Structure 1
Amino acid sequence: TDMDSMVEDRRDEPHTDFMYCCGAITETLKFGSCQLHSGHKVLFLIIPGNPGVVGFYKTFMQTLHSMFGYRHPVWAVSHAGHCVPPDTMDIVDAAEKDVFGINGQIEHKLAFLRKHVPRETSLVLVGHSIGCYIILDMMKRDPELKVLKAVMLFPTIERMALSPQGRVMTPVLCHMRYVAYLPLFLLSLLPERLKSSLIKLVLGGIRSLDHTVLQPTVGLLSGDSAANAMYMGGQEMKKVLERDNVTIKKHLKKLIFYYGATDHWCPVQYYHDIKQDFPNGDFRLCENGFRHAFVLDAGREVANMVVEWISGDLRT
């Protein structure tokens, strides 16, 4: 009936919240319950890549939510400062020390969990790119976290500056960042409609572009999000060096790694290396030609894969 389909649709309308976490403005996107209580056994939490904008993950999250029959809430938490605050809020309230840096972003995620997720809720953590590095570090810093599974998509967890993309981006992010601030500032002054047209032009080459990513991308051109993302990127190049084998070994049974076949941030060699070091681990190499920024055109497909990999673990 029409009534039923309306309820279905509403159930799939996500809820957006803004809050201060570690003093930094933080955006959350939530499918399913907005508040967790003891009835919620499992929470899916998406830890984004960089830029850590939750809107990019909308289709991916919606697919996860519906494929599990709307049973489990699916949340995403932005990186500190990677969002456009509503007019009533500033980007920082009283930010804690270097909250926009990589270490600050890890503490920021742990603080978010402490504040908004009951300790008894089991977590399915889904990381993308630098989000995977953040997840490993969260598990290291808080060994009591109830992680059921951690899914690592296109994981940049080692030797970032040495990757083909890292070699190009390191000088840009570490030394020429300030050069980019001026054009960014000028772009931010453009009217929204013009920003939208520019973004459409830039992303126009992507054949099956997911149009839900356009608005979040436009958001990057206003305010401080892009500058904060570049600052964090510069730190990634300096800090993501050695793979954390101790943490990987400790939690190997919970981890699933998915490497891109043409990922310039983590070359296929990294996949072969980690597989050799952990013969019993669950490492997969993409056969579908998905790009590192999979949310641009393959959010639904990647979500369907994730569901296949972990549905067995959720049948408890």
Structure 2
Amino acid sequence: MEDMGADSRDVPHTDFIYCGGAATEVLKFGSVKLHPGHKILFLIIPGNPGVVGFYTTFMQTLHSMFNYRHPVWALSHAGHCAPPDSMDMIEESSLAADADVFGLDSQIKHKLSFLRKHVPRETSLVLIGHSIGCYIILEMMKLDPELKVVKAVLLFPTIERMAQTPQGKVMTPVLCYMRYIAYLPVFLLSLLPESLKSILITLVLGGIRSLDVTVVKPAVSLLSGDCAANAMYMGSQEMRKVWGRDNVTIQENLGKLIFYYGASDHWCPVQYYQDIKRDFPHGHIRLCDKGFRHAFVLDAGRDVARMVSEWIHGDLKT
């Protein structure tokens, strides 16, 4: 790709809205509002933390690969964004506690609510999930089988046995039993000036040779305190709830699904790829041969977007 910054269509638009009772960030390339004439929307469902800014380069590349014809949006998880000063994190505190708005089940309903309110029903969807976003997409397709999904691309999918994975065995005690201890250092970091937060994030990520500099700002936003706490809370539920693979939903939608597993992914081991490949031999299920990390947005967003566009290009010819 040529100079990605040379076209004004590469400039994203950001909206902050209340959805499902919680502050939500929507990052948009292309049309900022959809009308019934829009045939296709790309919608990114992020991993955890669900900060849409991490996906800027990935989205920008996808938008350009399809000649800017289709809007590409990313929807944050409820409460994972740092809202502007004019907004609270939750719309009504009394309802938030009852509805568990930051929990995993509510995050699924949050995405369906967004589609109902902001996307015309006749608009076809290309859903792209990353990590727990893949689980959320499968749940969305199960809960609303009438969604007009053309393709659902599941990148580094954490859709089963999360607590049994190498990373899950480390993180389950932290997220489920020691989460409140972790809140203190996050709170202390939130008190630092933004410039110092940026320096710290850059130092932490400094070992990544081809680091995408666009991820630094969204990483800093996580240090607001509430965002990180909500992400950890959601993570604790992932460890407890993401267990058995939903073979029924996968079978019912197999022709729409593309799975992409990492070759050295501590959140979804190669064994999980081998298992699903055995159980669904006719599915579009791939194993990475390019060395991409689970958190591909840190250094390979552009490469993964190009790869995704090659997989689905034929399905979007209208």
Q: TM-score, normalised by structure 2?
A: 0.97
Where 1:35 maps in the other structure, the secondary structure is coil
* Aligned equivalent of 1:28: 26
Where 2:7 maps in the other structure, the secondary structure is helix
Where 2:164 maps in the other structure, the secondary structure is coil
What CA distance in whole angstroms lies between the structure 2 residues aligned with 1:175 and 1:285? 33
Aligned residue type for 1:163: T
Q: Measure how far apart 1:7 and its partner are.
A: 11
Is residue 167 of structure 2 the alignment partner of residue 142 of structure 1? no
Q: Percent identity?
A: 77
Is residue 254 of structure 2 the alignment partner of residue 252 of structure 1? yes
Deviation string for 1:46-95 (max 9, x for gaps)?
A: 00000000000000000000000000000000000000000100000125
Pick from 40, 54, 79: which aligns with 2:52? 54
Q: Measure how far apart 1:9 and its partner are.
A: 2.1
Q: Measure how far apart 1:6 and its partner are.
A: 12
Aligned residue type for 1:109: K
* Aligned equivalent of 1:209: 211
What CA distance in whole angstroms lies between the structure 1 residues aligned with 2:124 and 2:20? 23
* Aligned equivalent of 1:287: 289
Q: Measure how far apart 1:223 and its partner are.
A: 3.6
Pick from 59, 63, 77: which aligns with 2:75? 77
* Unmatched runs of 5 consecutive residues or more in structure 1: none
User: Map of 1:1-316 to 2, 5 A cutoff?
Assistant: 9-94=7-92, 95-96=95-96, 97-316=99-318
Where 1:161 maps in the other structure, the secondary structure is helix
What CA distance in whole angstroms lies between the structure 1 residues aligned with 2:313 and 2:303? 15
* Unmatched runs of 5 consecutive residues or more in structure 2: none
Where 1:85 maps in the other structure, the secondary structure is coil
Alignment check: 8 A CA contact 1:84 1:223 kept:
no
What CA distance in whole angstroms lies between the structure 2 residues aligned with 1:298 and 1:259? 15
Alignment check: 8 A CA contact 1:125 1:149 kept:
yes
Aligned residue type for 2:289: E
Aligned residue type for 1:132: C
Deviation string for 1:11-39 (max 9, x for gaps)?
A: 11100000000110000000000000122
Aligned residue type for 2:40: V
What CA distance in whole angstroms lies between the structure 2 residues aligned with 1:194 and 1:7? 27
What CA distance in whole angstroms lies between the structure 2 residues aligned with 1:63 and 1:22? 30
Moved over 4 A (4+): 5-8
Aligned residue type for 2:221: G
Deviation string for 1:262-299 (max 9, x for gaps)?
A: 00000000000000001110000000000000000000
1:261–1:7 distance in 2 versus 1, CA, 3 Å: closer
Aligned residue type for 1:24: A
Cα RMSD (Å): 1.3
Where 1:140 maps in the other structure, the secondary structure is helix
Aligned residue type for 1:53: V
Q: TM-score, normalised by structure 1?
A: 0.97
